[in-house]
Chains A and B, each alone.
Chain A
Amino acid sequence: MQEKIRWLVEEVAQNIVGLDVALFFQAHPNVFDSAAGIAMRMGRQPEEVGEALERLASHGILEVYELGAGRYRCYALKRVEEVWNLLCRLSEMYLDDPPARREIIRMLVARVTAKGKRKDPDAAASEEVRE
């Protein structure tokens, strides 16, 4: 697996929500919305989506806009070719390449386990299937 992809999965996405947000922006690069708006479109809790958005923004995958004197914090895909290519590669591996997909899930599960959280591989896999 490419180092950049491993970095994107382990360092940026970090968990299944982060992976989901990254894939969402690859599928819908024209979204410009708040964490609440994006969470609504993704069908997830705003809090967990917000954390993921911040991580992606801090790693230069997304851009953050402040509107309404700080009342609205909005996110949009960073329009950089390198970012776009990275997301496209991630998308291909996760959606079209089953071995790569399993590897990505294992990486996320391992990371969660390493952090000592109570989340076993089966639970992660169940979540994947649900998605």
Chain B
Amino acid sequence: MSLPVPSGVPGLDEIVGGGIPAGSCVLIEGVPGAGKTTLGVQIAVSRARAGQRCLIIALEELPGQILRDAANFGWDLTDLERKGLMTLVCTSPDLLFEQLESGGGPVGTLLGSHEVDTVVLDSLDHLYVYGTPRTSQRTAVYSLINALKRSGVTAILTKELHSADPDLVPFEEYLSDVALRLTYELDANRRRFRYVEVLKSRGLPNRSGKHSFQITSTGFVVYPRLQVEPESDKQAPQHPDVVSSGMAGLDQMLDGGLPRGSATLVAGSAGVGKTTLALQFICAGADAGEPGLYLTFEETRGRLLQMACTLGLDLGKHVEQGLVEIVHEVPLGLDPDAFAHRVLQLMDELPASRLVVDSLSDLAAAIADPARLRETVYSLVENARRRGTTAILTIGVPELFGQTAALPEHISVIVDGIVLLKYLELESEIQRSVAVLKMRSTDHDKAIRRYIIGPGGFTVLERFEGAEGVMAGAPRSTPITLAVRSFTEFDERLNEQLLRRFAQINPNVQPIPMTLPYNPDEARLTIERSLAAPHTHLSVLPLCMYWMPQMIDPRKLTPVDDLCPDPEEHLSDLIECATVGGRLYAVPAIALCGVLLYRKDLLAKYGFETPPSTWEEVIEQAKTVLEGENDPDLEGYVFPGYLYEGISSTFLQNLWSNGGDVIDAKGHVMLEDDAAHEAACYMHDLVHVHRITPRDITGAQRGLEPQQEFWDGKVLFLTMLPTAALAMLEHGSPLHDRIGIAPPPRGPRGERSVSFLGGWHYAVPLNAKAPAAAAQFIQFMTNRQVQKERAIRGGALPTLKSLYDDPELLASHPHYHVLKEIVFTARSRHYIPRYLEVSSIMQRHLHSMLCGSLTPEAAVEAMARGVRALLA
């Protein structure tokens, strides 16, 4: 045998290994009506048209019939005969053998001339006289094939199959080089499809399996089953980008869009918007100049154009311009292989960047066999992917409401992504939800979101907050956790009341308060864990002001500019620290500062009419009162000495009030200068020299929350937040009218008293479960009314500057005259680079100093060294 030559039958060469080997014997077997003769004649005509001489020997069919049948396919055998390229002979089997043996007659003469390229013999069955033993039949065929091969022709022999039994192996197959079996089979839908199978292809790699073929007006067309070759590393896309779905909200859910070359299944019940989504997808591509192919089974081309027009999409224009091709197929009678080939051909012709198959449910109606459906979809998806074509395949689900039954597993594993669209009943209203169940290699949104379909098309809205069971179609209310910051038990009760009121105003939200640890460093760990988690149960994050430079991250927080329409009304530092790139990421809720709380009654008793304004006065007044009272339970001066942020902020307050700083304007570390040294000495000496401060302020009990002893009347001076004093009334302390609030005392180098400014903000994490409820909550907790009410009731300080002059507030709390001065001149810590780490260094060495392990000199040197190394 020689190299394969083209058969001239579209698709046939692909399945037989490239063509029909010259000089070979090809057996075409099939049931009646399968098209054996047509295929044989088509091959002969093709060869004749290529200039090769062919002979058709009809043992059964009369030549006139063959001529007429050929003419129906546009093959003019008479013309070919006239040109000497085709000879048609109708003869009897015994005469055929005689001609082959003797070399006489038209057959023998032609073959003897060695000018014939191809012989078609139709059919072998007529060689067998009734009752001829099988062994003789085999001998006859063997003899015939050898005679033909001696002549050097390519022999095409047809043979009837009397049974469609796939296990049947006619002996003729053993004698031939290529064996093709044509069948005409009923599918599960009682429709007949034609298949060709290569049973044998000696010496050539054939494509196994049954391949569809059709007998068209131009003859046989074979549609080889699509197959996917293993992909080499070079072919595999290394860095796939994304393409827009045409719906901004859906793109966000998909982590930017659909990965290019991916296939996404859009599942949903009838009328839920699958086709709308698909239309937007195809039009978005065309808008960007990307050609798209839309395969529709249910909706006609006209209906689709009308739908698109209603949605305001330019589909008609794109179709006119050739950017979008709409193909409408009727599922009934659809040949899967022919369909798949047509799709690939169209994809290549466009060439299509986007593909829509709308819908797989209709395709499944055409392909009753699930395995065949899977194979077809897989081939389409994989071929699309290798072309870089992004595909959306829609599929219907039977349930209008309620739990969606499992999607066909054989399909869902093929696709890269699954988007589920559902109806649901909520608040006596039919609503629609969208969820991305799967999207390979992306960090897609896990939320279930509401969407609407309007003139603009498919618009994704907010997630279903406060509702569980949405996917099951039966949503029920669910609590939402809203974390709040409380500083005292009173503060906590106040916050609980506010939350209850918020819940009354917003009945859809059932807030669960979560009180953060008092220690802001521990609170920070809680918040950081929430931000790092893929999804947090905290919809609102309280953020402390001094964390801000390192906590405000646009990749983790939602901008909240809309929730703070008048930022200039807040203390400017509180806004500045929460702003990145011109966007606000946290709304100020409460302000803080350090103050000196003192016992007015005790100072007055010993002749001190004003609280101490300098360190010297602190020491003098404390010593005087302690000596006079001679009460072993009375402490002179307590300040936060525990290993936490409080010790750093106390030191900073002293440092700034002594004219010092951590860094200068050029960023140089200043912690070794005299001001720093004196501030450290002051804190050290209060404990170890003057002994007016107890040593155990370094422990958690007294050094972390020392206000309780102050409320009990056992402390003269306390450096603390003003809330500690403001809450005394609510706490029921008998001393509540004997407490004074003063600015932090100055050091010898200090020209003025400087406190630290702190505060707490509310932010919404990007991974929040209920961002809409969070926004409502933030607006509620930060509005003027709530800030004022909280301040009047003795809670945290307002962030709104104007409230410090509010007559009602001043009438309730005259301290606000002093507090205004302190707050408005206080310094924030966020100007210090990497403050969290700087504070950590200061905490460690200051704590060691107060414990007596380090001298003040050693402590400031160590702090300076550590901070300098950190900021280098």
Contact = CB atoms under 8 A, between A and B. Distances in A.
Interface of A: 27-34, 36-37, 40-41, 65, 67-68, 71-72, 74, 76
A31 B63 contact: yes
B203 interface: no
B407 interface: no
Chain B, interface size: which category? Answer: 10 to 19
A41 B58 CA distance: 12
A40 B90 CA distance: 12
Nearest to B103: A67
Which of A28, A32, A65 has the most chain B CB atoms closer than 10 A to its own CB?
A: A32
Contacts of B87: 30
Contacts of B92: 33-34, 36-37, 40
Nearest to B81: A30
Which of B88, B94, B102 has the most chain A CB atoms closer than 10 A to its own CB?
A: B94
A81 to B, nearest CB: 12
Contacts of B94: 34, 72
B88 A67 contact: no
A122 B105 CA distance: 41
Contact of B102 (A28, A31, A34, A67): A67
B733 interface: no
Given A37-B95, A67-B98, A30 B89 contact: yes
Nearest to B58: A30
B515 interface: no
Contacts, number: 57
A30 B98 CA distance: 17
A28 B107 contact: no
A34 B58 CA distance: 14
Interface of B: 58, 62-64, 87-92, 94-95, 98-99, 102, 104-107
Contact of A30 (B90, B102, B104, B105): B90
Contacts of B90: 28, 30-33, 41
Given A28-B64, A30-B88, A33-B90, A72 B98 contact: yes
Given A27-B64, A28-B63, A32-B105, A68 B98 contact: yes
A67 B99 contact: yes
A28 B56 CA distance: 13
Given A65-B105, A72-B98, A33 B64 contact: no
B106 A76 contact: yes
Given A28-B63, A65-B104, A76-B106, A33 B91 contact: yes
A45 B95 CA distance: 19
A68 B91 contact: no
17 contacts: A27-B64, A28-B63, A28-B64, A30-B88, A30-B89, A31-B89, A32-B106, A33-B92, A34-B94, A36-B92, A67-B98, A67-B105, A68-B102, A72-B94, A72-B98, A74-B105, A76-B106
A73 to B, nearest CB: 10
Contacts of A34: 92, 94-95
B62 A32 contact: no
Contacts of A30: 58, 63, 87-90
B65 to A, nearest CB: 9
Contacts of A41: 62, 90
Contacts of B58: 30
Contact of A67 (B62, B63, B89, B95): B95
Given A37-B92, A72-B94, A72-B95, A29 B102 contact: no
Contacts of B89: 30-32
B302 to A, nearest CB: 47
